[in-house]
A and B are shown apart, each in its own frame.
Chain A
Amino acid sequence: MILKTNNLCKQYQHKDVPVDALNHVSFDVNEGDFVTITGASGSGKTTLLLSLAGLIQASSGEIRIMDFDVVQASDRKLSDFRRKHIGFVMQSFALIPYLTAIENVMLPLAISKGKKEQKYQKALALLKLVDLENRKNHLPSELSAGQQQRVAIARALVNSPTLILADEPTGNLDPSLSTDILNLLKKINKEEKITILMVTHSPLAAEYGNRKINLHNGCIN
C-alpha cells in the first residue's frame, strides 16, 4: 500500500456557515495503481487531491503516503516530501512563462543536489519521453496546449516520484489532445510503475484508471 486515508475530513467556513468539503473519506491506494477520482463540481475532488499533497490542511483524519504522516508534518518536511515523492500535473499546466521547456522540466531539481549536466540530461530524457526533445528551448507561449501539458508531465516525472497527483489534466485540451495526454499518463503508469491519482469530471478519462473513486458531497459513494 502506498497511500492510505482514514476518516479524512475537511470543513470550510463559508460566510459563517460550515461546509463539509470532505466527510470521513477513507481509502487505500496500492503501488502501481491508476486511480481516477470522479464526481460532480463541488463534490470535493480537488480538495481531496490537495489534502493528499498537504497543500490543504485537513480538519481531521489521517493521510499516510509511504508511511509519511501528511497531516502532522511541518511545512519544511512536507515541502521536502512533495519535492522528492510527488509529481503534479495541473489543468492549467502551471509552467513558468519565462523559462524554456527544459528549464521548466528542471525546475524541481533547482533545490536538489547533483551536477548541472546530470540534471540537464535527465530533463532532456524526459522531454524525449513526452516527444518534445526538439522543443526543449521553446517558451511555453511558443508551445501548443497539448505540448505544454506534456512539458508539465515531464516536470512531474523529473524527481522520479512515487506518486503523481493530476488535477483535471485534460480539462483545457480538445478531445484528441486529451487522448494523447491520457495515453501518456497510462504509459507512465505502466512502464515507469508510477502510481497516479487523477481527478477528472470526464467519464471517458475516468476509464483510463484501473480503479475509480466517486465522490458525492465530500463522501465516497
Chain B
Amino acid sequence: MNIRKLVWLEFKQHKSQLISGLLAITLGIAVIVGIRSISVVSEKAVAVNLDNLGANILVLPQASNVDNYYAADIDAPTMPEEYVDRIVSSNLEGVDNLSPKLTRRIKVGTENVVLTGIMPKNEITSKPMWQQSGLLGNDLKASCAPTNAVNQSNGYEDEKLKRKVIDSLGADEYLLGSTIARKLKLADGGSVVILGEKFKVSRVLNETGTVDDDRIFIHLRKAQELLKIPNQVSAIEIMGCCNAISDGLLSKLRNVLPDTRITTIGQIVATQIQTNKMMNKVSLIFLIIIIFVGGISIGNFMWANINERRKEIGMLRMIGFNKATIYRMILAKAFVLGIIGGLIGYILGTAAGVWLGPELAGLPVQPIPSLILISLCISIVVSLLGSILPAYLAGRIDPFKNMQEV
C-alpha cells in the first residue's frame, strides 16, 4: 500500500464520476486538436501549392469563387471554353500558358473523387511537379513563364501555336492523383469505370501535397462529354509572367473577359492564410475557454469528490497523514485526470480531424503525433490548476469533526 495505490483504488471506486469531471476538458482538447490537425495540413498545403503550382492566375466564371472551384460541386458555375481562344487571340504580353479545366465531384466505386478534365500537355507544362513524374522531359521554373527555348524543345515552333493547348492524353486514358490511387487501389496500367466508361491508368502522379492528389484527370473533351457539359470549363489556369502581372496583366485580362472573375494565386494563398489564421484564433479561444471551463469543471468535480470523502480524509489525518500528503493525493488524482483527459481529447480530436478534414478543408488529414504532448500538457496543467483550491481545502478538513462518523 502506498499513496499511488490509494489514489488508484479511489479512482476505481468513483470511475463513473470521472465522465462528468472529464467531459469539459476532453471536449476542449478534442476541439483544439481537431482544429490544429486541419490547420496544420492546410498551412502545409498552402506552402506546397505556392511552391509547386506553376500557374499563377486563375480565371473563374463570374458567379463562382475559389471555394466553388476546389469543391467541384455538381452545380458549380462554368464558362464557355471559347474564352481560351479569346485569351490566345488577344496576344496579351506575359501570358505564357493556358490550362482550361472542367471539374466535378463524382463517385467511382464507393469513393468520392474530383474528376478534372484537362488539356494534358498544357496542364503538364504549367506544373513543375508533373514534369518530375516523367511525362515531359523538361523542367520549368515555378511561378514564371517558361523560356522560348523550353517551349521550342516541346515542339512549339510557332509563337501562337506554343500557347495553344495540345492533346497528348488518349480519350480512354487518365492520370491519377497519388492519394486517390491508394484509395482505389490502382496502379499504372490499371483500369476503372468512370461514369459508365472504362478508362486505363496512364500514370499515377507523384504526391504533391495539394488537392491534385485527390483528383482523377481525363481529357477535357471526354470530361465534357461524360459530364454532359459540352464546350464549358470550370476555370482557366494561366501561367503569367511575374513582371507582366505587375504591369497590369490582370486588368488587361479582365478587359478581354469582362464577365469572369480573375484572381491571382497570391490572392488565393492570402485567403487561405487568412482562413488558417482564423482557425488558429479559434484554437486560441478554445484554449482560453478550456482553461476556464475545464479548470472550473475539474475543480467542481474534485471538490464534490472531497466533500464526499470528508470522513475518509479526516480519518487519514487522524492516523498520521499530514496536510502535504493530502495535497499530494488530491493533486496526483488531478494529474491522472489530466492524462486521461488529454489522451482521450487527442484521440477524439484527431479522429474528428481525419474524418472532417477532407469535408471542411478539402484535404486529407493525418494524425499529428506531436499534438499528444501538447494535449497532455494543456490537460494536466488545467487539471492541476483546477484542483489547487480543492486540495488546499481538503488539507484543512478537521479530523475530529468527521472521524466519529466514518
Contacts and interface: CB of A to CB of B under 8 A. Distances in A.
Interface of A: 46, 50, 53, 55-56, 75-76, 79-84, 86, 88, 90-96, 98-99, 103, 106-111, 116, 119, 155, 159, 167
A79 B322 contact: yes
A111 B325 contact: yes
Nearest to A98: B13
Please report whether the interface of chain A is mostly helix, strand, loop or mixed according to DSSP.
helix
Contact of A94 (B6, B318, B322): B318
Most buried by B among A91, A98, A167: A98
Interface of B: 1-3, 5-6, 9-10, 12-13, 311-312, 315-325, 399-400, 403-406
Contact of B315 (A94, A98, A106, A119): A94
A94 B320 contact: no
Ranked 3 nearest A-B pairs via Cβ = A83-B320, A79-B322, A106-B1
Contacts of A106: 1
Contacts of A108: 319-320
A113 to B, nearest CB: 10
A55 B315 contact: no
Nearest to B10: A98
B320 A92 contact: no
14 contacts: A55-B317, A55-B399, A75-B323, A80-B320, A92-B406, A94-B406, A95-B406, A107-B319, A110-B1, A110-B2, A110-B3, A110-B6, A116-B2, A167-B404
Contacts of B12: 98
A119 B1 contact: yes
Contacts of B405: 92
Contacts of A83: 319-321
A53 B318 contact: yes
B321 A92 contact: no
A90 B404 contact: yes
B324 A76 contact: yes
A99 B405 CA distance: 17
B319 A155 contact: yes
